[in-house]
Structure formats: structure tokens, C-alpha cells
Amino acid sequence: MPTTSSLQIGADDLAFPRLNALSYWLYLFSGILVGVSFFQGSTFAGGWTMYAPLNTPAYIPGEGLGATSVVLALIMFTAAVTMGSVNFLTTMYRMRAEGLRMRDIPIFSLSINLTVWMMLFAFAALLAALMILASDHVIGTTYFQFANDGSTLGTSAENPGASLLWAHLFWFFGHPEVYIVFFPALGAMAEIFQTFTGRRLVGRKWFIISMVLVAIQSFIVWMHHMFLTGINLPIKTIFMATTIGISLPFDLMVFSLIYTMAKGRVRFKTPFLFSLGALLLFILGGITGVFLGAIVLDYQFRGTYWVVAHFHYVMFGGATALIGGLYYWYPKMTGKMYDEFLGKVHFATFFVGFNLLYFPMFIAWETPRRVFEYPADLQIWHNLSTVGGFILGASMLVMFYNLFVSIWRGEDAGESPWKYASTAEWAVGSPPKLENFPGLPSYASGSLEFLDDEEVAERTGKPPGAGVAADGGTASDGGTARNIRAVTAPATPTAAAHETGGEGHASHASFWPFLVSLGGFIAFLGLSGVRTGSPVYVGMAAVGGLATVGSLVGMTRESFHAPEMAIAERWPFEGVEKMKLGMWTFLASDVVLFGGFIGSYAFVRVAYGWSDWHHDLIPAEHVTMPGLINTYLLLTSSFLVVLAMVAAKREWRGATTASLAGTFALGVGFLVNKGIEWNHLFHIHSEMFPNGWTLSTNIGSSTFYLTTGLHGAHVVVGLVICGYMTIRAWNGAYQGDDKPIEYFGLYWHFVDIVWLFLFPLFYIL
Amino acid sequence: MDWKGYTLIYVVLFVFATIQAVVEFVGLVDSAYWLAFGIIMVLSVVKAVGVAAYYQHLISEPRSVTYMILGGTLGAIALTGAAAYSIV
């Protein structure tokens, strides 16, 4: 995904290469942690939806440590996804070839762009859900647990919103996820249709508008997964309307693809056959999905093979397009052509097998899901499905053979084996070189050109090799439509440049992302068992935590260099330098994370009874003053950060250092005040709360400690950064350059803003 | 913005936070809960906008940055609002 999109938009790399490495290693270690969970007694066995309360330790047989590991692994995975999302979006908005407007980028890259936007927000909601669940597992909060007896961690808390809370959080992520999975396939399908019909997508503008609409609408349809829960009829009706509404832009896209075929001259190569097949499957999957979007029909169809068939026609239909994409880009990836005859054999057997497997399920729709028994008269359809399954599986062997053997025996593909392919990846060799392009890509003349070193130097007014902007984005952009930064990479990077990470394609070799992820893996594995008190688990948590922090410090101190393109198209974020845009994008995701936490609090409070909450669950000792003091402390600390910026700009070293040190001190004061308050609440002895008010006392205490605790964790992270910057300022850094302080300030002020809502919600109302 | 502007914003934020606490200290939360709720939450929103606009300098960034943050905020509000409404 990043490789193809980078090539298509004319970027030689991602905006943050080291962050990309960190995403990858976290992703890998999250998978390893899931693997390890199988050896901890038993792994998570609550299904892929992880419904509450069966996802909590009290309802998991045995110690449930493997289940906890899976939850923590998913947090790791989600963190990797969020880093990737920030990286891809920053790349797409800061590193497009000159002249390449957003509306003009290839349709596949546009689909990736929208996918990543959905990922940024949807996975943040999942992260909130998983962090809360992990908290229930590890430190004993009671968000997702009903009252129960004899449990390891459960309490007698009354929490009527527990189960539905999980369903809301999960499906707020889960439905956009459907499109996150499908959109890349849709983009590949459209790209392949264009190439093999030799025609631009008919109604391309409307196709794009439709994709944007679906991406937005995907966030307002989640409750159609909850029609059989206790949510009220008005909200079901609204979500039925939004669900059926989302099929409309899809209709438009389908018609666009059909008309593109009608207007063009189709060449039935393997990639096209798979894309056409995907379209047909998707049409059938989409139509049968509309049935499920209607409340009354959903009552009948849910939990049956109708859902199984619909789901596979849509999602496996998407996978069909991606197989087409694999054939399409295989020559680019390997430099070799696959065998066309075998490709067509693969498609024929695949398509027959697919429909023989899944179509009978529509006919035998009365078969219940996940139940072994079904009416005897449906057996013939199940038999057909079984045969179809074997054919489908066998067809994939043809592909694996074809693609594997073609690496050695295939004909050379050259730059482009496809006659009408028009996107940038086909203008370079196969496989592309590490630096992607033989110069700086530009569409300014109307077609793709590569600017050499001298041309770039002439345009930027700087001599070749005059230096590049650092990864930290210490140089400011001009704020014009086509920002011209210091100087670009040379047109033909040399081997020496690669090795030194100099002015050419920066070296990405860094151990730190690996070590950070390894430390995180050990820490999470340890956390999965700390509730047992086992010294091994506690030790792993401590060692892993220290290793992670140490590696992060090492990563910060490592000299790393990722040049920005000297000339690029950057709408709509002109003037927002790379690092700042990355920070803002991360904060947008963090808004949803905190939104998930605050929304969870609001939801369980509404479920409990908004007004009764305060009287029943909150002790009289929980007063406003500690919150007010902390508000003053944070507001003052934010004020000092902006003063530090002013001082740095005016090159007042002492004032810069003092302001940052003041921010640090106030942040520490915030945590100390919170510590005193928490300690007091933990140990109160009142009639209502004779054993103190702890995390597990009730849902009120759980929401208070966890939400303000997450905020406190953000303060701790900010303090680590602030402490580091204070020392640097003392040593003379930032004078005349307030950008690093501004980037830190963006984060710190955000933490301040969150508190501005936590204070009234948890201390006054 | 110079230090004087930042100071003015700080004073306003400080005063608004104090007003929020005063709303509780005078007993409005007990006597007219939803009025107090409205006052306090509006003040929080104003403070948040103030910090974002002037301390995070959103006011001088391209509007697209604001829209991006608003997108996340709207998502969170949609989740909270619709979920809460679903069980009312």
C-alpha cells in the first residue's frame, strides 16, 4: 500500500521513515504476542467481536492470562495502525509531485487516502475500547462487567450499560473497518478498469465524491449491527435510513465502472477478469446487504447463512479485486510477467468455486450460523458449498504456482507491460529502485517529468547539496501553494548518499524502532499476568517498560535525517510543515481516543441514571477543589509554553529555559496534587464506602480513575518531553527557532484542553 | 501574538475556570442542575476554543487543520450522542 501509493503520488519515501519502521515492528510483535497467548493456558475465545461481559476476566475460564495478552496485543496493533495513518496522511499531503492536485491523484491512491482517514478515526475508537478492556483485565476497573459473585476481579457494581457500551465502541470502529478493508480493493478495481478498457473512469469526479461520502457515512451506520440489542426503535430507524443511504453512493460507483466498460475497449487480461468478477460479486453482496439493513428483515436474517453469504460476497469480493491487483502490479513488483494462461485458469476455477461455495448459502439461508445441525432438505446446498470450497481452495494453488515460478521463468516486464496504464509507477523500472524516481517528479507541464538537480536548484534558488530540512521540520515553510524548501535530494542519488543518509535517499537503518517494539512486547506480556502477582510477570512488565522508555530516549537522541521534497504539491496543508502536520493528525486521532473515554463515561452514566449517579456512586469526599487547583496548574503551564516560544524567538535563553522549567514544575505539581487526591479517596472510610473508593468500587470510581488516569498518563509523556527540552534549552537550543517548542506545545495544550472537559464532568457535574 | 496577547488569554481562561467552580460553590448545581450544566459546559467549550485558537495557533493555520480536528470532534460527539440516545 505505501509503496504503490508513494510511487503514484510521486514521493520517493514516506514522510516519517523511522515511524514507518516502528509501525511495522509493533505490528509484528503484536502478532507474536497473540501467538504467545496460546501458551498461557488458553487464548482469547470470545469471538472476533469480543462482546462484553464475556471479554472480561470474571467470565473467562481459568486465569484468562492469554485473553489479556490478546487484548494488549490488539492495543499494540492499533498503535501501529495509528502511527501508519499519521505517516501516510502526512506523506500524501506533503509529498505529492508538483502539479498533482488531490483530485488528480490516481484513483487507487485516492482510495488509500480515504481508507487511511477512516483508519485514523475508527481505530482511535477501537483503541479506547481496548484500553478500557485492558484496564478491566489488568487493574480491575468494572466497565464491562455485570454484577457477579465469586469472580476474581468483578465487584457487586451495578453497571447496566456494560454490554451495550462495548457494542457501541466496537461497532463505531467495526463498520468503518468494513470500508477500510474494502476501499483499497475498490481503488484497485477502478484502476484496473481504466487500464484494461483504455478509458478514463466515466464520471470520475462523481466516483470520487461517492467514495468521500461513503467514508463519512461509514461513521453513522454502526448501530445496524445492534438491531437485536435493547437500543430503542427511533435510533434503529435512523440507522436503518443511514444504512440504506450508504448504498446510494456505492450504486453510483458501480454504474461508473459499468459505463467505463461500455465506453472503452475491454481487454480480458487476468487482472481485469478478477476486477470484473469482483464487481459482479460485490453487486450481489451489496444488494443482499440492503436486506440486512432493514430492521424487520434483519430480525429474520440475522444469525443465518444469509449473513454468511452476504458477508463473503462483499468482503471476499473485495479480496477478489485485490487478487486482480496482485496480478496487475506483479510485473512492477518483480520485473517479470506471470503466465497469462494460468492466470485465466485461476480466474475460471476461482469464480466457479466462489459462487458454488457461497451462492447456495443464500438458498439455504435458514441454516443457523455456528450451529452444526440444519434441516435435512438443505443438505444438497451444503454439499454443493463443500465442493465449491475445495475448488476455490485449489484455484489458489494455481496462482501460487504461477506467481512463484514466474519469478524465474517469466518474461521481462520492462517498465510497463500494460498499454494504457497511465499512473506514475509505470514510468519507472520494474521493480522500482529504492529512491523510486530518477529525479524529482513534476506534473507542472501537464505530463510527468523528472527534474534534475540543476533544475531544482534553479527553481529553489539554492545550490545543489545546500542541505535539506530535517525530520524534525526545523525549517519553516513559505506558506505558498508550492512550497520550496531548502534544497531537494539529488536527481540521481549515489551509493554514498544511501550509506551516509546524506542529501540523497536517507538511510533508514535504525535499531531503535525494533528495540522499542521488543520492549513493548516484553512489557505487555508482563502486564498480562501482573494480576497474579507472579514475580516473573511483574519483572517482565518492569524490564519491558524500562526497555521501551530507554529505547524511545535512544531513538530521540539518534541523528536521523528524512529530507522533504524541495518542490511539491501540498494542498490543503500548505505552510503546515511536515512535523507539525504529523502532530496535528495524531491529535485528531487522540481527540477520538479521549472522545471514546468521555463518551463511555457519559454512556454508562446515562444507563445508570444521570442524576442518581452522583448520589449513589460518588463519595462526599470527592470535592471540587483538587480539580480546580489542577485546572489552574495546567492553564498556567500552557501559558508558560507560549511564553517559552516568545522567549525562544527573541533568543532569550534564560527566559526560554525558565518557562520550560516552569511548565515542567507545574506538570509535576499537577501529578502530585492528583496523587494526594487519589490516595485520600482510596482510603476514605465512610458509611457508603467503608473500604475506600478504589478502581473496583463501582462504575463511578472506575470511570473517574481511568479517564483522569489516561489524562495523567498524557501529562507524564508531556513531562518527559518537557524535561528533555528544558535541558536542551539550558544548553542553548531553540534560540531563534521556536518550532520544536511549538510542536511540544500542540501536544501540551491538547492535554490542557482535555482537562478543561474532565474537570467539570468529573468534579462538578 | 506577543506576550501581552497570551497573557490576556490566560487571564480569561483563569477567570472562566473560576466561574465554573463558583457555579457549584453558590449551589446552582443543586438548585438548577441543567442550567448549571449548560453554563459550565459552554464555558469549557469557550476555553477549549480559546486555547486551540490562540495557544495552538489554529487561528493562523490553514482552515484545513481546523476541519481535521473538527472531524475527530464530530466523530466523538456522534458516538457519544447517538449511543446515549439509543438507551434513553
Q: Are A591 and A120 in contact (CB under 8 A)?
A: no
Q: B78 and A219 in contact by Cβ < 8 A?
A: yes
Instruction: Give the torsion sign (CA, B77, B83, B86, B88).
Output: negative
Q: Which residues contact A311 (CB under 8 A, 6 or more apart)?
A: A285
pLDDT for residue A76 is more than 90:
yes
Q: What is the mean pLDDT of chain A?
A: 91
Q: Which residue of A has its CA nearest to B13?
A: A635
pLDDT band at A154 (very low <50, low <70, confident <90, very high): very low
pLDDT for res A507:
66
pLDDT for res A435:
85
Residues of A in contact with B61 (CB under 8 A): 575-576, 584
Q: What average pLDDT does the segment A622-649 reach?
A: 97
pLDDT for res A503:
47
Question: In terms of pLDDT, which residue wins out, A503 or A352?
Answer: A352
pLDDT for res A59:
87
pLDDT band at A2 (very low <50, low <70, confident <90, very high): low
Residues of B in contact with A636 (CB under 8 A): 10
Query: Per residue in B23-70, pLDDT tens?
Result: 999 999 999 999 999 999 999 999 999 999 999 999 999 999 999 999
Query: Per residue in A513-556, pLDDT tens?
Result: 999 999 999 999 999 999 999 999 999 999 999 999 999 999 98
Q: Which residue of A has its CA nearest to B85?
A: A235
Which residues, in sequence order, are bridge partners of residue A569? A96
| Cα-based distances in Å from A19 to A95, A557, A744 | 16, 15, 17
Which residues, in sequence order, are bridge partners of residue A442? A98, A449
Query: Per residue in A722-764, pLDDT tens?
Result: 999 999 999 999 999 999 999 999 999 999 999 999 999 999 9
Domain A609-764 homologous superfamily, CATH: Cytochrome c oxidase, subunit III, four-helix bundle (1.20.120.80)
Query: Per residue in A239-260, pLDDT tens?
Result: 999 999 999 999 999 999 999 9
Please state which CATH class domain A2-414 belongs to.
mainly alpha
Nearest to A760 among B44, B63, B78 (CB): B44
pLDDT band at A465 (very low <50, low <70, confident <90, very high): low
pLDDT band at A559 (very low <50, low <70, confident <90, very high): confident
pLDDT band at A130 (very low <50, low <70, confident <90, very high): very high
Residues of B in contact with A646 (CB under 8 A): 2-3, 6
Q: Which residue of A has its CA nearest to B40?
A: A760
Chain A contact for B79 (CB, 8 A cutoff): yes
Q: B79 and A125 in contact by Cβ < 8 A?
A: yes
Query: Per residue in A255-283, pLDDT tens?
Result: 999 999 999 999 999 999 999 999 999 99
pLDDT for residue A701 is more than 70:
yes
Q: Are A214 and A179 in contact (CB under 8 A)?
A: yes
Residue A763 three-state SS? helix
pLDDT for res A480:
28
pLDDT for residue B21 is more than 80:
yes
pLDDT for res A168:
97
Query: Per residue in A307-318, pLDDT tens?
Result: 999 999 999 999
Q: Which residue of A has its CA nearest to B57?
A: A746
Q: Up-side HSE of residue A192: CA atoms within 13 Å toward CB?
A: 30
pLDDT for res A78:
98
Q: What average pLDDT does the segment A79-102 reach?
A: 97
pLDDT for residue A506 is more than 90:
no
pLDDT for res A373:
87
CA A190 – CA A192 distance, rounded (Å): 5
Q: What does the longest C-alpha to C-alpha distance in chain A come to?
A: 86
* % residues pLDDT > 70 (chain A): 92
pLDDT for res A476:
30
Q: A232 and B86 in contact by Cβ < 8 A?
A: yes
pLDDT band at A428 (very low <50, low <70, confident <90, very high): very high
Q: A231 and B77 in contact by Cβ < 8 A?
A: no
Q: Which of A505, A508, A475 is nearest to A490 (CA)?
A: A505
Q: A635 and B10 in contact by Cβ < 8 A?
A: yes
pLDDT band at A489 (very low <50, low <70, confident <90, very high): very low
Q: B84 and A606 in contact by Cβ < 8 A?
A: yes
Nearest to A639 among B6, B36, B37 (CB): B6
Domain boundaries, chain B: 1-56, 62-88
CA A133 – CA A127 distance, rounded (Å): 10
pLDDT for residue B19 is more than 80:
yes
Q: Which residue of A has its CA nearest to B19?
A: A628
Q: What average pLDDT does the segment A222-238 reach?
A: 96
Residue A65: CB atoms within 10 A of its CB come to 25
Q: B3 and A603 in contact by Cβ < 8 A?
A: no
Tell me the shortest Cα–Cα distance from A103 to chain B, in angstroms. Answer: 16
Q: Are A136 and A145 in contact (CB under 8 A)?
A: yes
Query: Per residue in A634-643, pLDDT tens?
Result: 999 999 999 9
Tell me the shortest Cα–Cα distance from B2 to chain A, in angstroms. Answer: 7
Three cell numbers, residue A219: 461513521
| Cα-based distances in Å from A427 to A100, A201, A423, A435, A520 | 15, 20, 8, 14, 41
Residue B59: CB atoms within 10 A of its CB come to 12
Residue A336 three-state SS? strand
| Cα-based distances in Å from A375 to A4, A364, A387, A569, A662 | 49, 9, 19, 61, 74
- In the block, cell 509484528 appears at A28
Chain A contact for B83 (CB, 8 A cutoff): yes
**DSSP per residue, A555-609:** HHHS----PPPSB-B-TT-TT--HHHHHHHHHHHHHHHHHHHHHHHHHHHHHHH-
Secondary structure string (H, E, C) spanning A400-445: HHHHHHHHHHCCECCCCCCCCCCCHHHHCCCCCCCCCCCCEEECCC
pLDDT for res A464:
62
Residues of B in contact with A118 (CB under 8 A): none
Lowest mean per-residue pLDDT among A324-338, A352-366, A480-494, A722-736:
A480-494
Q: Which residues contact A704 (CB under 8 A, 6 or more apart)?
A: A618, A622, A762
Q: What average pLDDT does the segment A316-344 reach?
A: 97
Q: A631 and B82 in contact by Cβ < 8 A?
A: no
CB pairs under 8 A between A and B: 170
pLDDT for res A714:
98
pLDDT for res A161:
87
Q: Which of A490, A439, A438, A498 is nearest to A468 (CA)?
A: A490
pLDDT band at A57 (very low <50, low <70, confident <90, very high): confident
pLDDT for residue A149 is more than 80:
no
pLDDT for res B2:
85
pLDDT for residue A105 is more than 60:
yes
pLDDT for residue A178 is more than 70:
yes
pLDDT for res A511:
94
Q: A765 and B40 in contact by Cβ < 8 A?
A: yes
Query: Per residue in A568-618, pLDDT tens?
Result: 999 999 999 999 999 999 999 999 999 999 999 999 999 999 999 999 999
pLDDT for res A499:
34
pLDDT for residue A485 is more than 90:
no
Q: What is the dihedral of CA A189, A190, A193, A199, to 10 degrees?
A: -170
pLDDT band at A159 (very low <50, low <70, confident <90, very high): confident
Q: A164 and B87 in contact by Cβ < 8 A?
A: yes
Chain A contact for B19 (CB, 8 A cutoff): no
Residues of A in contact with B83 (CB under 8 A): 164-165, 168, 172, 599, 603
Q: What average pLDDT does the segment A701-708 reach?
A: 97
ipTM: 0.98
How far is C-alpha A629 from the geometric centre of its chain's CA atoms?
36
Q: What average pLDDT does the segment A6-19 reach?
A: 93
Q: Is A586 exposed, middle or buried (0-12, 13-18, 19+ CB in 10 A)?
A: buried
